[in-house]
Amino acid sequence: MAGNHFVASIDIGTEKIALLVAEKDDDDHLRIIGHNVCPSKGVRRGSIFSIDSLSRQITKLIQQTQESFGVDLALFRVNISDTHLTCIDGKGKVPVNEFVSSEDLESVLESAMAISTPTNKEKLHIIKKKFTINESVVVDNPMDMEAQVLESKVHIVTVSSSSVRNVENCLKQSNLEVDKIVLNSIAKSQAVLTQEEKNGGICLLDIGAGVTSYSVFQEEGIVHSGIIKMGGDEVTQEIAYAFDTSLEEAKRLKESYGFAKSISQSEDQFIDFTQGTKKQHQLSSLDLSEVIEEAYLEIFQALKNELKHHNLDTIIKSGFVLCGGGCEIKSIEELVRGYFSKRVKIGKIQRSRISGLESLLTDYKYTGSIGLLLHEGDLSKAKFIVSNGDNGVMGKLKKAIVGNF
C-alpha cells in the first residue's frame, strides 16, 4: 500500500468478516477499490474465542482480495465488540492567564484524561467534547479567547485488555499490522449518522448476529455506548425451538418469511418447512412472526432497561437509527417505533466522503467496514491543537482526540 493514499478495514463479526480497501484523495474523499466478505469463525457474541480459526479466515480473505483487485494489503483498521466495555466522562479545569493558549488546552485535556482504569482494562477511545469558558460559555474552539477559567470534557471508552490483545494477535498471526482498533458502534456511527441527528439526541442501534450494540449521541458528542448480549442468533434459536427445526432452517424461515411485527402482515399463509425428523411440515406465517416479535421484544426490553439505568431515555429526542443484519427483517422499524414511541429509520451510508459501487454502499454487510474507513474524525474540529510535532505531547493528544463523534 503506497504512502497514505490507501486505507483498508476489516469488520469482524459473529457471522461474517467484511473487508474494504479505499483510495483517499487530497480532499480526504474515499473511493472503494476492493472488497470481499466471508463467513466468520472463532467468534462468539462478538468476542474472539479462537485466534487460530479467525486468523485462518482472515488470511484467506486477504489472499482472495489481493488476487482479485491487485492490491498489497498489510495495514488495517479493525473493529472491536467487547461486552465488558465501560464509558466514563472525564472533566478537566485549569486557570487561564487572560487568553487561552495551546498550553492551557494541553493542561485541561490532560486533566480530563487523567482517569485511572483497572489493570485489566484500557482506554480505547478518548473523544473530545466541548469546552466551557468561565463556567458558563460553551464553545468548540477556545483558542485565543479571553478567559479566567477553562474546562473540558472528554468521553473515555474502556475495553478489556484481553479483547484488544486478541484482535492484535489475530491480525499478527495473519501477518497484518493494526492501524487502529475502533469500537463497532462508533465506527458505524461514522457511516450512517449525520451531525444534525447527533445534535438532536439519537441512539444508533446495531443488531448483529451475536450481540446488539448501541451508542447515544447529543450535541456535545457521544454520551454512552453499550452492548447487550443478545442479537439475531437469539431470534433464530427461538424459531428453531418453537417449531422443532434446525438452526439453518430457522434462519431461512426468518429471512424469507419473517416479520418483526406480526400484525404487519397483510394475510396469513402456510409455509413449507423441514422439521427435525426431516419430514415436510407447514407452519402459519403469523405464528412464525409472533415468535420473531417476542424474541425482538426481549432484546428491546434489555435495551430499555440499559437506557433507563444510564438516564439516557430522555436524551433520545431524535429517536433511533437502525443498522446491522438483525435490522434487515421486514417491519423492524414499525416494531421499534411502537415499543419506544420514538422516531425510527434504517441507517443509510452518508455519501459526502465516500464513493464506490452502489451495491456496496447499500449493503448492510459493509456498514462497519465503511465506518472504519471513515474513522479519521473531523480533524477540522481539532485544529486548535498546536502540535510540536507528532511525537510531542500535543501531537499525541491530537491523535487521541481526533474529531467529535
pLDDT at 56 over 70: yes
Query: What is the Rg, in whole angstroms, of the alpha carbon atoms belonging to the chain?
Result: 23
Q: What is the mean pLDDT of the chain?
A: 86
From CA 167, how far away is CA 327, in angstroms rounded?
A: 26
From CA 146, how far away is CA 138, in angstroms rounded?
A: 13
pTM score of the predicted model: 0.84
> Which of 6, 9, 1, 5 has the alpha carbon at shortest distance from 375?
9
From CA 161, how far away is CA 168, in angstroms rounded?
A: 11
From CA 154, how far away is CA 126, in angstroms rounded?
A: 6
Share of the chain above pLDDT 90, in %: 55
Residue pair 233/14 in contact by the 8 Å Cβ criterion: yes
* pLDDT (average), residues 345-356: 90
Looking at residue 70, its pLDDT comes to: 79
pLDDT at 258 over 90: yes
pLDDT at 381 over 60: no
Helix pair angle (102-113, 393-400), 10° resolution: 60
pLDDT at 233 over 90: yes
Domains, the chain, in order of start with CATH, read: 86-161+383-400 (3.30.1490.110), 194-349 (3.30.420.40)
Confidence of residue 390 (pLDDT cuts 50, 70, 90): very low
| DSSP per-residue letters across 14-65 | SSEEEEEEEEE-TT--EEEEEEEEEE--SEETTEES-HHHHHHHHHHHHHHH
